[in-house]
Amino acid sequence: MVLEIIDVDTVCGRCGKKGIVTDSVTGERYCGKCGYVVSDTVQDSGPEWRAFAKEGGSTDPTRTGAPTSLAMHDRGLATVINPINRDSSGKPLTSTMKNTVERLRTWDSRSKVNVSADKNLRQALNELSRLKDKLSLSSSIVEKAAYLYRKALEKGLVKGRSISTIIAASLYAACRDTETPRTLKDIADAGNLKKKDIAKNYRLLHQELGLKMPVVNPIQCIARIASILGITEKTKRYAVKVLKVAQAHKESAGKDPMGLAASALYLACVKNCEDMTQRDIAEAANVTEVTIRNRYKSLKLDQKIDCETRDKKSKDVVT
């Protein structure tokens, strides 16, 4: 379908009447009354750059198309032969030229994957895209995971190892680096892989690439467990308060963040008389009931010490 824009203010040079028609497909401008072609090419009067949003709300004017991405095997810079069988003027191609262009498309697609490293990267990033949809991750985490996998590929860490487990380990490292609450079991279930294999490759990446991971804050795990069990907001707030007291007493050092969050939630449920068993919370947090019982004792003791300290301070102020 040809889109037509009528410019009523332009006067035809032959008949002197107004109504110049612009064909957006062929680029011709001609008179709608007598058919006189004013020009056969149209220049784009818009800006030659496009604005892409940056961090902080500002825009980045650039002369290229879409921004490059590490999550694409060619970073989005590959050339593509248009699948529409038309020439530059919009006319359909002949049957002979169609066959020629089809062969060019075939060889163009084959030439992009003639290197084994490119095939490896294409397969790994396809797997990463699938894991992103299953785990509901943001694009920044996927970019970080793709960057780590490219580094591992450059150092030859992928050779002799499973592509799926290496990309899963890279994704777990990206989640740890961005403090996104995703466990090894979540990634293993999403990728249908063994948790042991992902952990082994994660340790390999951590050692060979010199990664420095931040300590996971157990407070971030509370909302996830509470949303699975349908725990009230009052209980969640009390669990956050319990964890803050434990962090102030250095009780959370060296402990599993998910186990601490589950124990704090159980303590909050007991405090607020909310009917929730240790087994329910343990299954939602993917920890054992023994872990919850052990952490529950130390958290309860911290709460008792904190209350006694607060009461003592209030008595000193009164006296």
Interval 115-154: pLDDT, tens: 667 788 888 888 988 998 888 888 889 999 999 999 998 8
Domain endpoint, select from 183, 208, 233: 208
> What does each C-alpha distance from 121 to 9, 114, 163, 192, 201 come to in angstroms?
55, 12, 9, 20, 17
Q: Is residue 95 part of a domain?
A: no
Provide the CATH number for the domain around residue 314. Answer: 1.10.472.10
- For residue 237, being part of any structural domain is answered with yes
Structure tokens at 224: 């996830």
Same domain, 202 and 225: no
At which of 181, 208, 235 does a domain end?
208
Helix (H, G, I), strand (E, B) or coil at 197: helix
Q: How many domains does the chain have?
A: 3
By C-alpha distance, which of 19, 40, 18 is closest to 29? 40
Q: Is residue 203 assigned to a domain?
A: yes
Clarify whether residues 243 and 305 are in a common domain: yes
Confidence of residue 316 (pLDDT cuts 50, 70, 90): very low
Q: Is residue 199 part of a domain?
A: yes
CA 145, CA 62: separation in Å to the nearest integer? 26
Decide if 210 contacts 220 (C-beta within 8 A).
Answer: no
Question: Which tens digit of pLDDT belongs to each residue from 40-70?
Answer: 665 655 555 555 555 555 555 555 556 677 7
Same domain, 250 and 195: no
Is 248 among the domain residues?
yes
Residue 103 falls inside a structural domain: no
Is residue 164 within 8 Å of 191, Cβ to Cβ? yes
Q: Give the domain-ending residue among 208, 236, 260.
A: 208
Task: Record the pTM.
Answer: 0.61
Strand segments, DSSP code E, in the chain are 4-11, 18-23, 29-31, 37-39, 50-53, 59-62
Instruction: Provide the domain limits for residue 31.
Output: 4-39
Task: For residues 142 and 202, state if they share a domain.
Answer: yes
Domain assignment present for residue 48? The answer is no
Angle, CA of 198, 203 and 207, to the nearest 5° = 150
Look at residues 240, 295, 228, 298 and name the one whose alpha carbon lies nearest to residue 263.
295
